[in-house]
Amino acid sequence: MKKLASIATALWFAGGVIAGSSALAQENNFTLELNSAKDNANGCRLTYVAINKTGIILEKTAYEVVVFDKDGGVSQFLILEFGKLPIGKTKVVQFDLKDNKCTNISRLLINDVSECEAGGKNVSICLDALRTKSRTNIGFGL
């Protein structure tokens, strides 16, 4: 009976460690959310929410983004610069797509990383740890 209790305790502890590791893995990321897309006098204003949970200060962050029109054709290539992102910091950034209505955009694709610098060096974490999501009707992802 004592042996069975020890096994049960070991399994319970291992399950907690695995669950804890999973939670940590989910936190070690860079989240980029397309929060809103609204037409204005200049075109379509995209609002992004960026959250750096990578555990390192991102000194320079920029992405090459491809805009697809409502028919699925490529209409624009953009460089979206998010700048410096401290650890745990949430940053809201807006970009205007000049002469483009939001209803003409079907999706936005992160094509590549334009800049990703930490500790004065180029690093790959900006793509490796990237998680995207959209709160709009516009698709957004890798």
Domain spans in the chain, listed from the N-terminal domain onward = 29-141
Question: Cβ distance 79 to 64 under 8 Å?
Answer: yes
Segment 127-136 shows an average pLDDT of 96
At 68-126, the pLDDT tens digits run: 999 999 999 999 999 999 999 899 999 999 989 999 999 999 999 999 999 999 999 99
What is the reported pLDDT for 42? 86
Average pLDDT, the chain: 85
Percentage of residues in the chain having pLDDT higher than 90:
77
Quote the percentage of the chain above a pLDDT of 70.
Answer: 81
CATH of region 29-141: 2.60.40
